[in-house]
Structures are given as C-alpha cells and as structure tokens.
Structure 1
C-alpha cells in the first residue's frame, strides 16, 4: 500500500476575536464571554493536530481529535450561549491554525478539498482518520487541502455541493 510521508506540523494558533465575531455574527461580547471562550480555546488546543502529507507537493491536514468533539458536544448540550458558541470557537481555531501553517491562505478564501484516492486514504489511516468518497473526514472539525496552497474553487472536490456557492446562487 502506497502512502505519503506524514510529518507533524507544530502550530500554536492564537485566538482571534475578530474571526470569532465574524463567525458568530456578534458585534459585542462581554468580558465573561471572552473569558469562557478563552478557556474553551485552551481546552480545545490540547486536541489540535496538524500534519503535512507528502514532500514538496502534498497536503496539509488540520483537525480536532474526537476527544475535542466530546468536549464540544458537552458544551453544546448545556443550552447556554456559551454552548451555542462552542462550535464557532472550534471553527475559529481551525481557521487560525490554517493561517499559521499556510500563511498564503487568507480568511477570504476557501481551502479546496482534494479528490479522495487510495494513497490519500491510506496516508490518513496512519493518524486514525478516514476520508470518505464524498470528501468528508471522519472528524467533525477538520480540513484537508493541497500544498502548495491554491484557493481555486475549480480544484475543489466538493464544488458541486459547496454551501458557499449554493448561497451565492440564491
């Protein structure tokens, strides 16, 4: 079974309040909210993983482990505003991690999903992840995109079902 070389990427993304507020649609947050968000960020950070697959050309994989998903599910179950914000904190973390690992990616662009293939699937299995034929990772909070980075919708495997494109069409 052919596999791409896998190497961990050391990242320490910092919480970006502006990104969080864009994702949440909020214009203001209280000091207590900011503190709760920071605490959740710290919890999630311990479950953040990043890998480079391949050498010169390849892929970047950034995801939160299933343990983080359990933490987020518990937060969401609380039914509070803090619980409502939990998935947004996870999304903000993934975006911050991508920007740190791949500076040429900017907030205004997408990270095109590559077409699933056997080599990629075998490589991801090394870190315990699956990549379905529909282009979905086996974790709820994760992203996989090509390197060198190119934000090109034409290359995205999810192009036909892209939520961003569907919204633009309305």
Structure 2
C-alpha cells in the first residue's frame, strides 16, 4: 500500500497584526487587547501542528489541536464578541504558518484543498487524521493544501462550494480549507 511519508515541522509563525485585524474585522485594538492576544498566541503556539506529506511533491497540513476548539466552544458561550476575536487569532495562526511554507499566499490568499484520494487519505491516517471523501478532517482550525503550492480555483476540491465564490468568505466563522466543525 502506497503512502506519502509525513514530516512534522516545528513552526514559529509571527503574529501579523494587519492580517489579524482584517480577519477580526476591526480597525482598532486597545493595548490591553493586544497584550491578551499576544498571551493567547503564546499559549496556543505549542498546540500548532504542521506536516508535509510527500518528498518532492505532496501536501501541507497545518492545524491547531482540538484543545483550542474546546476552549473556543466555551468562549462562544461566555462572550461571542471575544470568541470572534479569538477565532480570528486561530485563523491568523494557521495562515501565518502556511505563509512560512508558501510565501506566495501573502498575495494569493487562498490555499486550494486537494481532492481526497486513497494515497492522501492513507498518508493522513498514518499521523492519526481521517480525511473524508467530502474533504473534511475534523479539525476546525486547519488547512490542507498542495505542497509545493498550486494556485488557482481549478486545483481546489471545494470549487463548487467555495465560500469566496458564494460570497460567504467574510461571514464564515472559519475559512480555512479542509476544516470541519465539531458536532
């Protein structure tokens, strides 16, 4: 049975305040908010995972551990405003990590989801991640894309239901490809 070797990477994305503010749909943050976000970034950093699958060609997987999802579920119950801001931080962390591997995402802003296939599904299963035929893998804060990167909607499995195509991009509670909400 063929599979792609997986390599875990230690990553240290920088906190991109401009990207965060775009995702959080805000134009101003207080010093206290910035300090709280920085502390949350530092706390979540050990829960950030990045894998490349394959050698010369393959895939890039970036996700935050389920502990972040559980924390966010509680946050949504306590303060929807704060939860929205914190969720934008999770998205910023994922995108910042993607940019470490794929600098072109700074301008392209899209990481096409590859079509689920047997080899990809088998390869992800080796690291404990199940990929469905619908392109989801049970992590809310996650992205799976081609690596080296392949730009363009024609490369994306989500093409027919793309949030950007449907005009939902800014209304999504999460916008990273391959992510699935917890039930």
TM-score by length of 2: 0.86
Question: CA contact under 8 A between 2:24 and 2:84: conserved in structure 1?
Answer: no
Partner of 2:44: 44
Aligned residue in 2 for 1:104: 104
Deviations 1:58-93 (A, max 9, x none): 000000111121122222222153223111110000
Aligned length: 168
Q: Is the deviation greater in 81-90 or in 155-164?
A: 81-90
Change (3 A) 1:163 1:80: closer
Match of 2:79 in 1: 79
The residue correspondences of 1:14-163 to structure 2 (distance < 5 A) are 14-79=14-79, 81-163=81-163
Can you give the 5+ residue segments of structure 2 that lack an aligned partner in the other structure? 169-183
8 Å CA contact retained: 1:11, 1:101? no
Question: How big is the shift at 1:154?
Answer: 0.6
Matched, 1:2 2:2: yes
Instruction: Provide the rounded CA distance (Å) in 2 between the counterparts of 1:144 and 1:84.
Output: 23
State the shift of 1:114 in Å: 0.4
TM-score by length of 1: 0.92
Contact 1:109 1:151 in 2 (8 A): no
The 8 Å contact of residues 9 and 50 in structure 1, kept in 2 or not, is answered as yes
Separation in 2, partners of 1:127, 1:77 = 32
